[in-house]
Amino acid sequence: MPFGSVFRHSPLLFILGSSFWNFVGGGVLGFFINIPVINYFEHGTYLTVAHAHAATFGTFGLLALGLCTHILRVVSPEVAWEPGWFQATFWLTNIGLVVMTVASLLPLGFSQLRTVYAEGYDAARSPEFYERPRNKRLLWARSLGDVPMILGATTFALGAIRHLLAARNDAEKLPA
C-alpha cells in the first residue's frame, strides 16, 4: 500500500488492538496478579482494576468495535465509507486505555500493594489511604485516560450514525 493511501480495513485495526490488549491486559497483568504470593495480598486492589480494564475493554471491547465497524463497512455504500471516524476511535480508545492504565491504575495498585505489605490489607483499602495527596493525584490522573476514551466513544457513535444514515438513504434508492 503506497504511503498516504487510505487504509480500507479499519476493522482490522480493532482486531490487532484486541490481540495486543489480550496479551498485555489478560496475559501480562493477569499472570502478574495471579501469582499466589502476590494474589493473596493484592486481590481487590487497583492492580486488579488495571487488569480488568485492560483485559475486558482492551480485548472484548475492541473486538466488539471491530465487529461493529465491519458491519458498518458492509452496509455502507462505497462512496459514503469514511474510515477516518473509526481510525480516530481506535487511536483515541487505545491512547485512553494506555494513559488510564499507566498513569493511574498501575501506580495506585502498586502503592496499595506496598501499603498492604507494610500496614495490612485494611489500611490499603481504608478511606485514609485514598486521602493521601499522592493517591488523590493518581485517582484524578485517571481522568486523563477517561477523556480520550469518551472522545473515542463519541467519535464511534457519530461515525456509526453517519454511516447508518447513508446506508438507509442508499436502501431507499433501490427499486421496490
Closest to 16 (Cα-Cα) out of 33, 156, 24: 24
The domain spans of the chain are 11-165
- pLDDT of 1: 46
What would the pLDDT profile of 29-87 be if each residue is shown by its tens digit? Answer: 999 888 888 778 888 899 999 999 999 999 999 999 999 999 998 888 888 888 899 99
Q: Is 4 left (phi over 0), alpha (psi -120 to 50) or beta?
A: left
What would the pLDDT profile of 10-40 be if each residue is shown by its tens digit? Answer: 889 999 999 999 999 999 999 988 888 877 8
What would the pLDDT profile of 155-166 be if each residue is shown by its tens digit? Answer: 999 999 999 998
Q: What is the CA radius of gyration of the chain?
A: 20
